[in-house]
Amino acid sequence: MKRLIVSLLGIFVALTIRANEGMWLPFLLESNIGEMSEMGLHLTAEDIYSINQSCLKDAVVGFVDLDKPFLHFCSGSVISAQGLVITNHHCGLDVVRQHSSLQNDYIADGFWAMQMSDELSANNVGVCFLRWMEDVTGKILQGVSDTMSVKRRNELINSNISQLEKAVSDSTGLKAHVDAFYCDNEYYMSVYEIFEDVRLVGAPPMSIGNFGGDTDNWVWPRHTGDFTLFRIYADSANHAAPYSENNVPYKADNHLKINAKEKHEGDFALLMGYPGTTNEYLPSFAVEAIQDVYDPIVVDMRGKSIEIIRKNMRANQQVKIKYTSKAASLANAWKKLQGERNGLKNKHVIDKKRALERQMGDWIAVDTLRKAKYGSLLDNYAKEYAVYKKYRRAKMLVDETFYNSEMIDLCSDIRAVLKGSSSDEEKRAKVLAWLRDFYADYDLTTDCDVTENLVDEYFVNADKAHVPSSLQSVKENAPEYVAALLKKSLLADSAKAFTAFRNYTEKTRKKIENDPLFKFTAEIDAVYSNIKTPMQKSLKKTDEFQRRFMQLQRECFADKRFFPDANSTFRVTYGQIRSFHPSDAVVYSAFTTLGGVFEKCDMDVYDYTAPDRLKQLFEAPDFGPYCNADGTMPVGFITTCHTTGGNSGSPIFDADGNLIGLNFDRVWEGTMSDIQFDADICRNIGLDIRYALFIIDKFAGAQRLIDEMEIIGD
Ligand code: ARG
Ligand code: GLU
């Protein structure tokens, strides 16, 4: 009987909790659409992605820095016929910061443009629409043969890519970009339209948009109102154009309807956007390096920096404004990697990978052709990986120490520009722009405190060969020595720095390079390149092994549906709203409500404060039409969709393609999903769209924005 119950339970679990692993390509959904329909989707593949009709992808955007137009740092969606875009608060935070000052502290107080003319330009931030995507593997691999050297292969591929990108961009006026998929085995082209005039429309105060702060980051249950509104502007012909006062709101090919109805456990969820990077097909030894070498370096070194920055932020309001976003980005990876490491260990991922490798070994062993092709692959890969790992560790230590020291990092960038071949005028302009950015949110004391600690850690952890000689001679005084260099440098005094670079000519370069910090940075840069050059050589070899290892996995497990690793291209993922067991005896339900915000506030934790106005609305209660049938106000929910960094702001759709939420995070127990997805514990965290509507309408009183949207209620 017991066994029967167990096996029935097994079937039940298999039927209800689908392993929703996978970030699928929008133009290749045929192999998924059957499963998606079984899970509850009411749409066709063409409703999601089409080049013939308007479809959901036409309302999904990627956020980019205009100088890196193919690296989507966040995702978002269009929610009105006037180009209104919703994304996460943490995605727009930098823009909010740019417009904030002690007098107008939009970070603390929020920002709401009550009329269109109040909307604020989001300098250098652009949004892109994917116009189409296609498999161009044949074109890119033209002329490539299995017998050619890796170097020749890569040269040929790169030249084929540039030619194709140029031809398509030139003929369409759009931006074509070819990316490698399946570990460099296939190539697909994405063609984007990129809009440069994007403006900030509304952002809740930090105490809503980042409620729970770093305490709750990566954590469920979550109560963060992580959303911000932007608007896309276009020229009078509705085309992408640089910022101009004459631009008008953009009419996108599609905008989303918003489903403001109540959600339920098990509801189907569809999610789209631009996931950045995953590594799902690594061999066991690479996972071991992540778990035991790379993740611990970041966790250990950043932990202390974060403590120092937070202490200074608490002591000084000015430092708090300047370092809010910097501290958040340092803490983000720090905390995530702790979760990743625990998940990899608890779910025995290394053992599971080893078991797969044994299966592959057996598959190879029974066939002479397979033996010839793959017989020695894993052994050789492991040997080369050991070489790579040594350099990668050394490089990470330099990155985490010296290039996480703000002034040394800037100094290193300036050195590189000054050594470059551009004209004096270009060099001057570039450095002056960096200086303006740098001093806008810089605090010398904090940087010195952080740097001192990092140098201390470096001394303990780095190989002697990678300790710059000037530090070897001052030995245990190295931390204070480096901090003193920062204080003595011309970069410590913004006026001096601006003067030096405003008057920069090749002749004054010597003088700048004699600055003690520039000299020291030259030593660091030399150490760095001594590590990087052999590392990159080794990386080329390990990449080639990984390419072949990917081929092996696809051949050996031919029945498995493989999705390509995330690479900042458009992806579709799907799953269900699902509670989960994070650990023994603990169950997390799938929804949070506003009551949870005030339970947390009572705990007197630094990150848990909510605006009085929110409390009044809660106590009234005054939730408008946005609450659940039982009168509670929804805030967050979790689903089994497979997501990663870059998916922030991704729209979450219901079975009919209406917007029900915004992705903004994953649960800490499941951040291992970048390496291996585990349906038991991997969940993404979404903001219930009803909470955003409630904040816009009831909290901010920005009715004009609600009026733009198409909301489907009960
Ligand atoms: N963990 C989320 C992401 O990776 C949110 C980060 C921003 N929030 C924060 N409290 N740091 O982007
Ligand atoms: N917050 C992340 C982002 O900025 C999403 C969380 C994740 O890594 O899944 O994209």
Q: For 58-110, what is each residue's pLDDT tens digit?
A: 999 999 999 999 999 999 999 999 999 999 999 999 999 999 988 999 999 99
The last residue of one of the domains, among 531, 562, 593, is 562
Check pocket membership of 212 for ligand 2, CB cut-off 6 A. no
pTM for the model stands at 0.91
Cα 354 to ligand 2 centroid, rounded to whole Å: 29
159's CB contacts (< 8 A; 6+ apart) are none
Query: Are the C-beta atoms of residues 408 and 402 closer than 8 Å to each other?
Result: yes
Residue 628 reports pLDDT greater than 90: yes
For residue 573, how far is the Cα from the chain centroid? 16
Q: Could you tell me the CA-to-CA distances from 133 to 27, 190, 192, 218, 570 in Å, in that order?
A: 7, 4, 9, 32, 9
% pLDDT > 90, the chain: 91
Residue 436 reports pLDDT greater than 90: yes
Q: What span, in angstroms and rounded, lies between the C-alpha atoms of 666 and 573?
A: 14
Phi–psi pair at 51, nearest 5 degrees = -105, 0
Of 58, 214, 226, 443, the catalytic one is: 226
Which two three-digit tokens encode residue 194? 């990129």
Q: Is 190 helix (H, G, I), strand (E, B) or coil?
A: strand
Q: Please give the single-letter amino acid code of residue 190.
A: S
Instruction: Sort residue 623 into left (φ over 0), alpha (ψ -120 to 50) or beta.
Output: alpha
Cα 521 to ligand 2 centroid, rounded to whole Å: 33
Q: What is the DSSP letter of 245?
A: T
Which residues, listed in sequence order, are joined to residue 111 by a DSSP beta bridge?
A: 203
For residue 681, how far is the Cα from the chain centroid? 20
Same domain as 330, residue 215: no
Same domain as 331, residue 227: no
Q: What span, in angstroms and rounded, lies between the C-alpha atoms of 376 and 313?
A: 54
Of 72, 89, 90, 177, the catalytic one is: 90
Cα 191 to ligand 1 centroid, rounded to whole Å: 29
Cα 232 to ligand 1 centroid, rounded to whole Å: 24
Cα 639 to ligand 1 centroid, rounded to whole Å: 18
Which pLDDT value is given to residue 324? 83
**Given the CA of residue 331, which atom of ligand 1 is nearest to it?**
11
The residue contributing the CA closest to ligand 1 atom 7 is: 90
From the number of C-beta atoms within 10 Å of its C-beta (0-12, 13-18, 19+), residue 478 rates as: buried
Q: DSSP secondary structure string, 267-288? A: -EEEEEE------TT--HHHHH
In a domain, 693, yes or no: no
Same domain as 446, residue 349: yes
Element (H, E) at 181: strand 175-181
> Cis ω on the peptide bond leading into residue 221 (within 30° of 0)?
yes
Same domain as 310, residue 224: no
Q: Could you tell me the CA-to-CA distances from 455 to 244, 306, 400, 526 in Å, in that order?
A: 46, 15, 10, 17
Query: Are the C-beta atoms of residues 469 and 526 closer than 8 Å to each other?
Result: no
Q: What span, in angstroms and rounded, lies between the C-alpha atoms of 124 and 108?
A: 23
In a domain, 677, yes or no: no
> What is the β-pairing status of strands 125-135 and 175-181?
unpaired
The chain-wide mean pLDDT, for the chain, equals: 95
Domain residue limits at 211:
50-262
Half-sphere exposure at residue 239, Cβ-oriented, CA atoms within 13 angstroms: 4
The last residue of one of the domains, among 228, 262, 296, is 262
Beta strands in 549-680 (DSSP E): 571-576, 580-583, 586-588, 591-593, 634-639, 651-653, 659-666
Check pocket membership of 528 for ligand 2, CB cut-off 6 A. no
In a domain, 583, yes or no: no
Residue 334 reports pLDDT greater than 90: yes
Long-range contacts of 464-468 (CB under 8 A, 24+ apart): 466/394, 466/397, 466/398, 466/527, 466/530, 466/531, 467/527, 468/520, 468/523, 468/524, 468/526, 468/527
Same domain as 340, residue 251: no
> Cis ω on the peptide bond leading into residue 621 (within 30° of 0)?
yes
The residue contributing the CA closest to ligand 2 atom 4 is: 648
The residue contributing the CA closest to ligand 2 atom 8 is: 645
In a domain, 593, yes or no: no
Same domain as 226, residue 77: yes
Check pocket membership of 648 for ligand 2, CB cut-off 6 A. yes
Half-sphere exposure at residue 61, Cβ-oriented, CA atoms within 13 angstroms: 33
**Given the CA of residue 666, which atom of ligand 2 is nearest to it?**
9
The residue contributing the CA closest to ligand 1 atom 3 is: 665
**Given the CA of residue 218, which atom of ligand 1 is nearest to it?**
1
From the number of C-beta atoms within 10 Å of its C-beta (0-12, 13-18, 19+), residue 405 rates as: buried
Q: What is the pLDDT of residues 542-564, one digit of tens each?
A: 999 999 999 999 999 999 999 99
- Going by C-alpha positions, the residue among 259, 194, 200 that lies closest to residue 228 is 200
Same domain as 327, residue 257: no
Query: Are the C-beta atoms of residues 58 and 254 closer than 8 Å to each other?
Result: yes
Residue 226 bears catalytic tag: yes
Which residues, listed in sequence order, are joined to residue 666 by a DSSP beta bridge?
A: 684
- Going by C-alpha positions, the residue among 342, 349, 93, 345 that lies closest to residue 218 is 342
In three-state form (DSSP H/G/I as H, E/B as E, the rest C), the secondary structure along 441-486 is CCCHHHHHHHHHHHHHHHHHHCCHHHCCHHHHHHHHHHHHHHHHHH
Cα 665 to ligand 2 centroid, rounded to whole Å: 5
Q: Please give the single-letter amino acid code of residue 465.
A: A
Q: Which ligand is nearest to the CA of 333?
A: 1
Residue 192 reports pLDDT greater than 90: yes
| pLDDT-based confidence at residue 3 (cuts at 50, 70, 90) | very low
Instruction: Sort residue 213 into left (φ over 0), alpha (ψ -120 to 50) or beta.
Output: left
Which two three-digit tokens encode residue 463? 């190989």
In a domain, 249, yes or no: yes
Q: Which residues line ligand 1 (CB under 6 A)?
A: 90, 210, 213-214, 217-218, 328, 331-332, 645, 648, 665
Residue 105 bears catalytic tag: no
Q: Is 606 helix (H, G, I), strand (E, B) or coil?
A: coil
Same domain as 373, residue 423: yes
**Given the CA of residue 673, which atom of ligand 2 is nearest to it?**
9
Which pLDDT value is given to residue 206? 96
Which pLDDT value is given to residue 18? 55
Residue 602 reports pLDDT greater than 90: no
Domain count, the chain: 2
In a domain, 345, yes or no: yes
**Given the CA of residue 74, which atom of ligand 2 is nearest to it?**
10
Same domain as 507, residue 376: yes
Check pocket membership of 645 for ligand 2, CB cut-off 6 A. yes
Q: What is the pLDDT of residues 389-434, one digit of tens each?
A: 999 999 999 999 999 999 999 999 999 999 999 999 999 999 999 9
Check pocket membership of 698 for ligand 2, CB cut-off 6 A. no
Cα 417 to ligand 2 centroid, rounded to whole Å: 32
Check pocket membership of 666 for ligand 2, CB cut-off 6 A. yes
The last residue of one of the domains, among 533, 562, 591, is 562
| pLDDT-based confidence at residue 475 (cuts at 50, 70, 90) | confident
Of 77, 80, 489, 648, the catalytic one is: 648
Q: Which ligand is nearest to the CA of 330?
A: 1
**Given the CA of residue 213, which atom of ligand 1 is nearest to it?**
10
Cα 209 to ligand 2 centroid, rounded to whole Å: 15
> What is the β-pairing status of strands 711-712 and 258-259?
parallel
Angle between helices 478-488 and 444-461 (to 10 degrees): 150
The residue contributing the CA closest to ligand 1 atom 11 is: 328
For residue 229, how far is the Cα from the chain centroid? 19
Cα 169 to ligand 2 centroid, rounded to whole Å: 30
Same domain as 351, residue 228: no
Q: Which of 91, 640, 644, 668 to mutate to test the pocket of ligand 2 (most atoms within 8 A of CB)?
A: 644
| pLDDT-based confidence at residue 19 (cuts at 50, 70, 90) | low
**Given the CA of residue 647, which atom of ligand 2 is nearest to it?**
10
The residue contributing the CA closest to ligand 1 atom 2 is: 665
In a domain, 136, yes or no: yes
| pLDDT-based confidence at residue 635 (cuts at 50, 70, 90) | very high
Q: What span, in angstroms and rounded, lies between the C-alpha atoms of 295 and 398?
A: 15
Q: Which ligand is nearest to the CA of 209?
A: 1
In a domain, 7, yes or no: no
Same domain as 106, residue 67: yes
Which two three-digit tokens encode residue 462? 């780095």
Check pocket membership of 305 for ligand 2, CB cut-off 6 A. no
Cα 90 to ligand 1 centroid, rounded to whole Å: 7
Same domain as 351, residue 317: yes
The residue contributing the CA closest to ligand 2 atom 6 is: 665
Q: Which of 93, 207, 665, 687 to mutate to test the pocket of ligand 1 (most atoms within 8 A of CB)?
A: 665
Least confident range from 143-147, 370-374, 484-488, 691-695: namely 143-147
Alpha helix (H) residue ranges in 60-110: 89-98, 106-109
Residue 6 reports pLDDT greater than 50: no
Which two three-digit tokens encode residue 678? 């585990």
Element (H, E) at 390: helix 377-401
Cα 163 to ligand 1 centroid, rounded to whole Å: 38
Check pocket membership of 643 for ligand 2, CB cut-off 6 A. yes
In three-state form (DSSP H/G/I as H, E/B as E, the rest C), the secondary structure along 449-461 is HHHHHHHHHHHHH
Check pocket membership of 646 for ligand 2, CB cut-off 6 A. yes
Check pocket membership of 649 for ligand 2, CB cut-off 6 A. no
- Going by C-alpha positions, the residue among 659, 710, 704, 705 that lies closest to residue 686 is 659
Residue 483 reports pLDDT greater than 60: yes
Q: How many helices (H) and strands (E) does the chain have?
A: 27, 22
| pLDDT-based confidence at residue 12 (cuts at 50, 70, 90) | very low
Q: What span, in angstroms and rounded, lies between the C-alpha atoms of 44 and 327?
A: 43
Average pLDDT of 339-361? 97
